[in-house]
RNA sequence: GCUGGAGUGGCGGAAUUGGUAUACGCGCUAGUCUUAGGAACUAGUGCCGCAAGGCUUAGGAGUUCAAGUCUCCUCUCCAGCACCA
């Protein structure tokens, strides 16, 4: 018999599946229910690493299993092709981002094929193609029309060295992830998406979703909804008749009588007005300048309660008319709540520290009812959020152009739909110099004037790449449509997504953004579901053999291509699935462990020689049952363990039936698609094993005639009893008590009670 | 600090959900084969003990005939948020 030659077998079947379009998925197949299984598509980095294998080949097991259970399964793949990784790599190599990206995608498609995953490549989606970003722009226009897009000046992360805005996720501990410079906050006008309008729904709709508690909590945490009161304090200056009002947000209106001062954030708009009135103008101005220069890192790390009193200004407590001093301090954040707080040192730790530092009074007055006092002082019960609107402007080249043009007066206008896709120009030097690269495109400016008239200029910013990925799962459903982002019929066939497996790092970014996007589309009646993912599950990470995250600098990277060459795609797939439950933990790579599963595959291979006449093994049906249950719970590790147990048992027998062997192949097919297909084929089967049905459990085979149960005395295991499963409680008790071992221990005592759990245990209670 | 999650052999992890703890794999030990290294195969392998036996699911208490599993306290680790009023 030929030995298991993975190199030959992997390639042979990958080609055969491709030639026969085995995984091409139709929107509707009579008699089959649809199942949409989604995994996060990847950046075209041109290098498929172990993480990709874990992210794609393990969920492929589930997709294949579902197909064998009779579902019409969509398991698509594509590329999140715009964005920083491509642009950075291109800049570094002096290459064109587009050329570089397309080269990487070509490489990755080849690597992805080596996985033997059941992707339907005919539905591939690439976000940097005009055919795709046309619809990203179209949706942007729709949102603009419905006031979900606006332009505003906000604080952004700015890297002074790279002269560019950084996304939040590119700021690592206050420094630029690329060059390590300390990031500063800077005011910048940008295009914003009104995600905060959806804050309540993004929190409340989580309740109905079948998602893990941890993911829901992380999103709630991130949105940070806080319920409280907004209360207005009047400010006055004894030397003039001017009056100002300042609203504060508090969750503790009940402490209103304990207020001994009011604090504004240094950036609070009112401060600019008040500054002319204060007695210590210089001091205040110096403080404002100092805090604005403070690096984000410092402000985060130093919890020192600095501040300056606005001398001469007094706030009037609406509850009792008492005059209290007004301060500015940078422990009050401008962009949370109203940017102003009432200082209650008795009941708030930070206020207490501030009061102590600056010698402000700390008074203990009785608490009142929050709702009542809020009403009494003319305040309102309100909610505030940590979540802020999503700034999507990027001063970069490699992204979806924001489809906006400005008239000669500087007013913004959307690029009409008939001019979409609003193409990304190519006549651009993409080296970052602090100005958007598109500003240097002659073609873009000429195009704008040609279409809109003299003096019109284009928007020169591009969109955050997270915008592209908010809706990619709709495009898989109808990826060639050029009259709509997807036809309603295709969306009805597949949405909402049945299973979305991905990384925990996307919980508060991509997953939240795409939920928002879907809700916005839903409100515009463009889609029929307000939530995109029925089930979301987070997988873990594959760590290096040293237990650290794989990285080139640590020298602990396992290259999947090497494993595929040496041991085969099936071994790698199987090992990744065998490491532990798919949902939950991170697992270190064990170079010996991967050899262990290869041995298992070889045993399955050799078992073919044992096919012959014989008796059915009851173990097979227990195995089918076990795997069917565990696979549904994404516990692929115990599925493989169950197959190993079966193979261990079969190795001890002289012969196995061919039907039993093919049942094992069917169970193993989702895990090791290449080897099982080869064995299936050599046994004379004509159709692909991957078009076959999942084996059924013969319930009658599950019933054991005899069973070994444990005999405990006072809860401690003392003996074992082999007994018929049809034995009555009385029979079991009698036999247990008759055991010599039990006799010896029970003899000189009184048996108080005997608990018999048939098929499980006997516990004899003695005194 | 707040929120969530987790602690089981030398390692990754099992445990029918309250019923024989340590399945399966790795590693380790011995043996067979091999010039050797490796690979493969066979047997053993929770800990202490020569043994009888005792102990064991981070630690401590509790409920129960019975606890890895339920309850309370303590400790440790991981993740997210964090001067969020």
pLDDT per residue over A182-237, tens digit each? 777 777 888 999 999 999 999 999 988 989 888 998 899 899 999 999 999 999 98
Q: What percent of chain A has pLDDT over 90?
A: 67
Asked if strand B comes closer than 7 Å to A296 Cβ, the answer is no
Cβ proximity of A426 and A442 under 8 Å:
no
Contacts of A11 (CB under 8 A, 6+ apart): none
Asked if strand B comes closer than 7 Å to A629 Cβ, the answer is no
DSSP sequence for A451-480: HH-TT-EE---EE-HHHHTTSHHHHGGGTT
CA of residue A720 to C1' of nucleotide B76, angstroms: 38
Residue-wise over A224-257: b if at least 16 C-beta within 10 A, else e? ebeebbbbebebbbeeeeeebebbbbbeebbbbb
Phi, psi of A618 (to 5 degrees): -60, -30
Spatial separation of the C-alpha atoms in residues A133 and A466, rounded to whole Å: 13
Nucleotide whose C1' lies closest to the alpha carbon of residue A299: B83
Spatial separation of the C-alpha atoms in residues A325 and A320, rounded to whole Å: 15
3-class secondary-structure state, position A53 = helix
Contacts of A54 (CB under 8 A, 6+ apart): A539, A541, A542, A576
Q: Is the pLDDT of residue A172 over 70?
A: no
Residues 508-527 on chain A lying near strand B, CB distance under 7 A? 508
Nucleotide whose C1' lies closest to the alpha carbon of residue A720: B20
3-class secondary-structure state, position A311 = strand
Spatial separation of the C-alpha atoms in residues A76 and A123, rounded to whole Å: 7
Residues 595-624 on chain A lying near strand B, CB distance under 7 A? 595-597, 599-600, 602-603
Helix (H) or strand (E) holding A733: helix A729-738
Confidence of residue A300 (pLDDT cuts 50, 70, 90): low
Q: What is the pLDDT of residue A527?
A: 97
Asked if strand B comes closer than 7 Å to A218 Cβ, the answer is yes
* pTM score above 0.90: yes
The residue whose CA lies nearest the C1' of nucleotide B15 is A638
Q: Is the pLDDT of residue A389 over 70?
A: yes
Q: Is the pLDDT of residue A705 over 70?
A: yes
Q: How many CB atoms lie within 10 A of CB A104?
A: 20
Q: Which nucleotides of B are covered by protein (CB under 7 A)?
A: 3-5, 11-16, 19-21, 23-27, 39-42, 55, 65-67, 79-85
Spatial separation of the C-alpha atoms in residues A286 and A547, rounded to whole Å: 50
Q: Is the pLDDT of residue A603 over 70?
A: yes
Spatial separation of the C-alpha atoms in residues A265 and A309, rounded to whole Å: 12
| Mean per-residue pLDDT, A660-669 | 95
Asked if strand B comes closer than 7 Å to A185 Cβ, the answer is no
3-class secondary-structure state, position A382 = strand
DSSP secondary structure code for residue A553 in this structure:
G
Spatial separation of the C-alpha atoms in residues A140 and A414, rounded to whole Å: 9
Residue-wise over A375-406: b if at least 16 C-beta within 10 A, else e? eebebeebebbebebbbbbbbbbbbbbbbbbb
Residue A322 vs residues A340, A374, A422: alpha-carbon distances, Å: 18, 17, 60
Nucleotide whose C1' lies closest to the alpha carbon of residue A598: B25
Nucleotide whose C1' lies closest to the alpha carbon of residue A588: B12
Helix ranges (H only) for A212-360 are 213-223, 269-274, 281-293, 296-301, 349-358
Tokens of A541: 């990470």
**ipTM summary value:** 0.93
The residue whose CA lies nearest the C1' of nucleotide B13 is A580
Confidence of residue A136 (pLDDT cuts 50, 70, 90): very high
Residue A232 vs residues A177, A229, A523, A621, A755: alpha-carbon distances, Å: 42, 10, 34, 72, 70
Q: What is the pLDDT of residue A552?
A: 81
Asked if strand B comes closer than 7 Å to A383 Cβ, the answer is no
Confidence of residue A261 (pLDDT cuts 50, 70, 90): very high
Nucleotide whose C1' lies closest to the alpha carbon of residue A385: B84
CA of residue A623 to C1' of nucleotide B16, angstroms: 13
pLDDT tens track for A13-64? 999 999 999 999 999 999 999 999 999 999 998 888 999 999 999 999 999 9
Asked if strand B comes closer than 7 Å to A219 Cβ, the answer is no
Q: Could you identify the residue written with the tokens 């078009």? A: A691
Asked if strand B comes closer than 7 Å to A762 Cβ, the answer is no
Q: Is the pLDDT of residue A10 over 90?
A: yes
């Amino acid at each position: 018999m030929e030995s298991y030659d993975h190199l030959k077998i992997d390639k042979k079947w990958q080609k055969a599946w491709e030639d026969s379009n085995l995984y091409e998925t139709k929107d509707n197949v009579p008699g089959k229910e649809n199942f949409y299984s989604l995994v996060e598509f990847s950046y075209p980095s041109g290098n498929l690493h172990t993480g990709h294998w874990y992210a794609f080949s393990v969920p492929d097991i589930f997709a294949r299993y579902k197909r064998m259970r009779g579902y019409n399964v969509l398991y698509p793949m594509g590329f999140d092709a715009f964005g920083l990784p491509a642009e950075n790599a291109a800049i570094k190599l002096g290459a064109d981002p587009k050329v570089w990206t397309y080269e990487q995608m070509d490489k990755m498609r080849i690597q992805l094929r080596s996985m033997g995953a059941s992707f339907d490549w005919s539905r591939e989606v690439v976000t940097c193609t005009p055919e795709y970003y046309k619809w990203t722009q179209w949706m942007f226009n729709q949102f603009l029309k419905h006031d979900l897009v606006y332009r505003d000046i906000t604080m952004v992360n700015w890297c002074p060295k790279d002269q560019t805005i950084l996304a939040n996720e590119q700021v690592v501990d206050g420094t630029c992830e690329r060059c390590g410079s300390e990031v500063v906050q800077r005011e910048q006008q940008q295009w914003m998406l009104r995600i905060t309008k959806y804050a309540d729904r993004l929190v409340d709709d989580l309740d109905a979703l079948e998602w893990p508690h941890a993911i829901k909590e992380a999103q709630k945490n991130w949105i940070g909804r806080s319920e409280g009161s907004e209360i207005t304090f009047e400010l006055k200056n004894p030397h003039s008749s001017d009056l100002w009002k300042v609203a504060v947000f508090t969750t503790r209106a009940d402490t209103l009588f304990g207020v001994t001062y009011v604090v504004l954030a240094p950036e609070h708009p009112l401060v600019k007005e008040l500054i002319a009135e204060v007695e210590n103008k210089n001091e205040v101005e110096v403080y404002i300048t100092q805090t604005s220069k403070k690096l984000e890192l410092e402000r985060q790390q130093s919890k020192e309660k600095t501040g300056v009193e606005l001398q001469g200004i007094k706030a009037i407590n609406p509850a009792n008319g008492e005059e209290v001093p007004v301060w500015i301090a940078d422990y009050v954040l401008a962009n949370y709540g109203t940017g102003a707080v009432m200082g209650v040192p008795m009941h708030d730790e930070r206020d207490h520290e501030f009061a102590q530092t600056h010698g402000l009074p700390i008074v203990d007055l009785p608490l009142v009812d929050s709702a009542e006092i809020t009403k009494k002082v003319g305040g309102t019960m309100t909610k505030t959020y940590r979540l802020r609107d999503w700034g999507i402007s990027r001063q970069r080249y490699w992204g979806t152009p924001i489809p906006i043009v400005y008239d000669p007066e500087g007013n913004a206008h959307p690029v009409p739909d008939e001019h979409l896709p609003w193409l990304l120009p190519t006549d651009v030097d993409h080296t970052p110099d602090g100005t958007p690269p598109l500003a240097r495109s002659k073609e873009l400016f000429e195009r704008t004037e040609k279409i809109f008239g003299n003096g019109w200029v284009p928007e020169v910013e591009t969109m955050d790449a997270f915008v592209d990925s908010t809706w990619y799962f709709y495009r898989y459903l109808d990826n060639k449509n050029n009259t709509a982002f997807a036809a309603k019929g295709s969306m009805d066939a597949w949405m909402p997504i049945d299973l979305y497996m991905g990384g925990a790092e996307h919980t508060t970014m991509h997953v939240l953004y795409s939920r928002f996007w879907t809700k916005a589309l839903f409100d515009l009646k463009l889609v029929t579901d307000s939530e995109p993912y029925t089930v979301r599950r987070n997988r873990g990470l594959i760590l290096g053999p040293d237990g650290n995250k794989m990285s080139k600098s640590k020298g602990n990277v396992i290259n999947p291509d090497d494993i595929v060459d040496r041991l085969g795609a099936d071994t790698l797939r199987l090992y990744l699935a065998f490491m532990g439950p798919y949902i939950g933990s991170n697992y270190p790579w064990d170079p010996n462990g991967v050899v262990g599963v290869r041995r298992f595959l070889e045993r399955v291979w050799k078992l073919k020689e044992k096919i012959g006449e014989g008796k059915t093994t009851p173990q097979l049906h227990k195995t089918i049952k076990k795997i069917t249950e565990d696979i549904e719970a994404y516990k692929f590790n115990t599925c493989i363990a169950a197959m190993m147990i079966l193979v261990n048992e079969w190795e001890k027998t002289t012969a196995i039936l061919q039907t039993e062997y093919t049942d094992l192949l069917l169970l193993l097919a989702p895990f090791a698609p290449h080897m099982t297909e080869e064995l299936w084929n050599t046994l004379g089967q004509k159709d692909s094993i991957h078009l076959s049905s999942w084996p059924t459990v013969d319930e009658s085979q599950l019933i054991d005639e005899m069973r070994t149960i444990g005999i405990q005395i006072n809860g401690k295991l003392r003996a074992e009893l082999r007994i018929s499963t049809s034995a009555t409680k009385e029979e079991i008790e009698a036999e247990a008590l008759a055991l010599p071992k039990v006799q010896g221990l029970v003899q000189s005592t009184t048996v108080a009670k005997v608990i018999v759990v048939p098929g499980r245990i006997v516990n004899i209670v003695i005194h």
